[in-house]
């Protein structure tokens, strides 16, 4: 059966179309990544900007053309933090629905965490913690054998933290420490998970970007990146280095998209601090996430 899943996030809009067999085997036909950054300026204005809406419209036009060609039998489109929080979220929802041709669900953080776990982990038998660093929120989900036992969404993400703490480049030490302190404070209630985790899995742009930098990849390669392992010490080292760079330095890093480069330092810091609080010594990258979870539940 041909299925499609779309994830409209704070920074990215992602679509997967695949042939999903009855035994759960997935043959990916299209995996499309765009960067409309719906959450740009949202913290200040409270609304999604016209420029962000126009970029999202272009993303939906791209997705609509793929959907028309593939004619999937089932489609699920979900939207997350930016559209949850924006004053004009429902207006943007209706506009994008009219372009892509399917309903868009604005899901809560817990649902987002659970769908991301399903998309990234599936039915693996060991206890997995999935960390999904988005632009406006970060989701944490723990589970095994396809069952999620714990899921939460914390209201910090790479775009939000960049707009709040990274107003000067390189980042001042006090700004970095303030950001770290906030992660530790908001994650304190989840510190009890420490010691219960077999495998930590990092989802979305930040873990992927760190793996690309570590592997010295100049372009995205899903086959090389999926399962790529980074130690907590290496994530911390990369976070400190990225925070020490200017915007021009960041944008000159091979393989780092210019619309993602500015937010990766804060994303890396969130990941490093999360791993420390939750006791994760290593992190494996997963290139599948929320869009796959949406597709599998369509």
Neighbours of 67 (CB within 10 A): 21
Give the DSSP letter of residue 10.
Answer: S
Q: Domain limits of the chain?
A: 2-107, 122-290
Strand partners, 252: none
51 — pLDDT class (breaks 50, 70, 90): very high
pLDDT (tens digit per residue) in 124-134: 888 899 999 98
Distance CA 60, CA 40 (A): 18
The whole-number pLDDT of residue 122 equals: 86
Q: Which residues of 253-274 are buried (b: 16+ CB within 10 A; e: fewer)?
A: beebeebbbbbbbbbbbbbbbb
Q: How far is CA 137 from CA 15, 97, 130, 276, 278, in A?
A: 19, 23, 14, 18, 17
194 — pLDDT class (breaks 50, 70, 90): confident
pLDDT (tens digit per residue) in 234-243: 999 999 999 9
Average pLDDT over residues 159-169: 93
Give the CATH superfamily of 2-107: ATPase, nucleotide binding domain (3.30.420.40)
pLDDT (tens digit per residue) in 238-268: 999 999 999 999 999 998 888 789 999 999 9
**Phi/psi class of residue 216: alpha, beta or left (left: φ > 0; alpha: ψ in -120 to 50)?**
left
pLDDT (tens digit per residue) in 58-69: 999 999 999 999
Q: What percent of the chain has pLDDT over 90?
A: 81
Domain 122-290 has CATH 3.40.1010.10: no
pLDDT (tens digit per residue) in 67-97: 999 999 999 999 999 999 999 999 999 999 9
Question: What residue spans of 188-225 are helical by DSSP H?
Answer: 205-215, 222-225
**CA-atom Rg of the chain in angstroms:** 18
């Amino acid at each position: 059966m041909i299925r499609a899943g779309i994830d409209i996030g704070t920074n990215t809009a992602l679509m997967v179309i695949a042939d999903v067999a009855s035994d759960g085997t997935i043959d990916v036909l299209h995996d499309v990544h765009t960067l409309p950054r719906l959450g740009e300026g949202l913290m200040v204005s409270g609304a999604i900007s016209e420029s962000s809406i126009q970029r999202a419209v272009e993303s939906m036009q791209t997705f609509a053309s793929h959907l028309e060609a593939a004619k999937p039998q089932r489609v699920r489109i979900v939207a997350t933090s930016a559209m949850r929080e924006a004053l004009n979220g429902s207006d943007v929802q209706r506009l994008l629905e009219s372009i892509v041709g399917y309903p868009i669900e604005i899901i809560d953080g817990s649902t987002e965490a659970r769908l991301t776990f399903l998309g990234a982990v599936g039915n693996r038998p060991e206890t997995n913690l999935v960390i999904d660093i988005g632009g406006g929120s970060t989701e944490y989900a723990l589970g095994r054998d396809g069952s999620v036992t714990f899921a939460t969404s914390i209201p910090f993400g790479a775009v939000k933290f960049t707009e709040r703490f990274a107003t000067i480049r390189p980042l001042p030490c006090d700004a970095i420490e303030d950001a770290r302190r906030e992660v530790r404070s908001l994650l304190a209630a989840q510190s009890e998970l420490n010691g219960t985790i077999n495998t930590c899995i990092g989802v979305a742009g930040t873990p992927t970007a760190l793996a690309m930098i570590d592997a010295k990849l100049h372009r995205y390669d899903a086959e090389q990146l999926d399962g790529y392992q980074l130690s907590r010490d290496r994530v911390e080292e990369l976070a400190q280095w990225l925070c020490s760079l200017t915007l021009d330095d960041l944008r000159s890093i091979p393989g780092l998209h210019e619309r993602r480069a500015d937010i990766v330092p804060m994303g890396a810091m969130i990941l490093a601090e999360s791993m420390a609080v939750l006791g994760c010594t290593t992190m494996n990258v997963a290139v599948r996430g929320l869009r796959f979870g949406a597709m599998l539940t369509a």
